[in-house]
Amino acid sequence: MKVPSAKKRVVLLGATGSIGENTLRVLAAHRDRLELVGIAAHSKWEKLAAIARQFDVRHVGVFDNQAYAAARADAAAFPAGTHLVGGLAGLVELAQLPEADTVLVAVVGTTGLDPALAALAAGKDLALASKEILVLAGKFVMAAARKHGAKLLPVDSEHNAVFQCLEGHPQAGVRRIVLTASGGAFRDWPADRLAHVTPADALKHPNWSMGPKITVDSATLANKGLELIEAQCLFGLRPEQCTAVIHPQSIVHCLVEFNDGAMLAQLCPPSMTFPIQHALLHPERAPGVDSALDFTKLLGLEFRPVDEDRFPLLRLAKQTMVAGGVAPAVYNAANEVAVAAFLAGQIPFLAISRVVEQTLANVKNFEPTDLAAVLVTDDHARRVARTFLK
């Protein structure tokens, strides 16, 4: 049972990453409305200790075993009386903290799946930034949210934007949604130049400052592919209703087209504080952390079609949506393996899509009836993907 409180009490999983840092800016600006009660990170425990001191947080989780041991050995770094937990079990415990109202899951990859399901089972509102969770197990996450009557608030900027545009509009009136893509680091690069891309090139994103995995995914447009799958699942759409367009300025985050051809769009500057604040304060609106758009200056908004020949990972993502079953999970697993190999200098940039395509062709698709089957497939797909790295 949630204890009624004037403030919303927030648990932040992934406190030291890029989403985490922006969430802390939102929390610091709205201390009268939001209270941080639990934090966790993969391994940066010293940073967690600093956050715990700054926000007076008493529940802290460290995922990595070695880092957890180091944190325990230096307990004086944390506020007196800090409850320190470790590993995945620790993250799950934080996701179910009795005093929490909202759990924001912003951990890299699919590590956040168990904590996300635990939060929903405990009836917490789930603010979800880790798109891989829905790509892997969307059917089961959505079912858990329905079963426990929990609110699922998308934090990914495009999905938060769709959520805002759809509010108050019956689903039957929606023709399609259009997610915008900046186009990533290689938006204007010709196909032959893409063969020689280095990890350093791929990590230069034109508009957003994010972690390395998602920045590479933006450069390959796999990020947009994952987002289309995420949107289909979050909003209960058919594959053909989920589309993408290149929009280099990253000001318009989505467009929703209704049956009559009218479109609603959501606009704000490219800072994650906007969707994070919307999700945490929903349905309240309060002054933002970053400045709004300034129309006293020239503001050009440009849209162009996506070139799926240069960026085959978007085409492959659409194919997995049509195929259904575990295909999106296989796509995600193979992409994670391939991106890690690219960042480690083991495979060239263009091999990322090849590894994903080959993995999809070599893992049998089926309709999973339980989460365990999806996790087994995820593991299998990673092993298959590794055989294509050579």
Q: Which is nearer to Mg ion, 125 or 156 (CB)?
A: 156
Minimum gap (Å) between residue 107 Cβ and Mg ion: 16
Minimum gap (Å) between residue 289 Cβ and Mg ion: 18
Stretch of 64-72, 137-145, 156-164, 327-335 contacting Mg ion, by CB under 5 A: 156-164
Minimum gap (Å) between residue 157 Cβ and Mg ion: 5
Which residue lies nearest Mg ion, judged by its C-beta? 156
CB-CB neighbours of 387 under 10 Å: 11
CA atoms within 13 A of residue 144's CA, in its CB half-sphere? 24
Minimum gap (Å) between residue 341 Cβ and Mg ion: 23
Q: Which is nearer to Mg ion, 14 or 38 (CB)?
A: 14
How many residues bind Mg ion (CB under 5 A)? The answer is: 3
Is cis: bond before 275, omega within 30 of 0? no
Q: Which is nearer to Mg ion, 214 or 374 (CB)?
A: 214
230 binds Mg ion (CB under 5 A): no
Contacts of residue 377, defined as CB under 8 A and 6 or more positions apart, other chains included, come to 326, 329, 330, 333, 363, 368
In the shown chain, the binding pattern of residues 158 to 187 toward Mg ion, with x for contact by CB under 5 A and - for none, equals x-----------------------------
Q: Which is nearer to Mg ion, 84 or 181 (CB)?
A: 181
Contacts of residue 284, defined as CB under 8 A and 6 or more positions apart, other chains included, come to 33
Minimum gap (Å) between residue 158 Cβ and Mg ion: 5
Q: How far apart are CA 123 and CA 307, in angstroms?
A: 42
Minimum gap (Å) between residue 156 Cβ and Mg ion: 4
CA 268 to each of CA 160, 252, 318, 361: distance values in angstroms, whole numbers, following the listed order: 12, 7, 27, 40
Check residue 76 and report its DSSP letter.
G
Strand order in the sheet with 263-267: 242-246, 174-181, 252-258, 263-267
Q: Which is nearer to Mg ion, 158 or 257 (CB)?
A: 158
Single residue of 93, 101, 125, 156 touching Mg ion by CB under 5 A: 156
Contacts of residue 311, defined as CB under 8 A and 6 or more positions apart, other chains included, come to 220, 221
Minimum gap (Å) between residue 272 Cβ and Mg ion: 9
Minimum gap (Å) between residue 168 Cβ and Mg ion: 23
Beta bridge partners of residue 86, listed in sequence order: 62
Q: Which is nearer to Mg ion, 30 or 131 (CB)?
A: 131
Q: Which is nearer to Mg ion, 35 or 158 (CB)?
A: 158
Task: Give the strand pairing for 252-258 and 263-267.
Answer: antiparallel
Q: Which is nearer to Mg ion, 93 or 158 (CB)?
A: 158
Stretch of 13-21, 155-163, 359-367, 380-388 contacting Mg ion, by CB under 5 A: 155-163
Check residue 304 and report its DSSP letter.
B
Minimum gap (Å) between residue 105 Cβ and Mg ion: 15
Q: How far apart are CA 136 and CA 95, in angstroms?
A: 19
Beta bridge partners of residue 102, listed in sequence order: 10, 125
For 325, the token pair is 């079953």
Stretch of 32-40, 45-53, 153-161, 271-279 contacting Mg ion, by CB under 5 A: 153-161
Q: Which is nearer to Mg ion, 96 or 157 (CB)?
A: 157
Minimal CA–CA distance to 134: which of 156, 155, 113, 103? 113
What residues make contact with Mg ion under the rule CB under 5 A?
A: 156-158
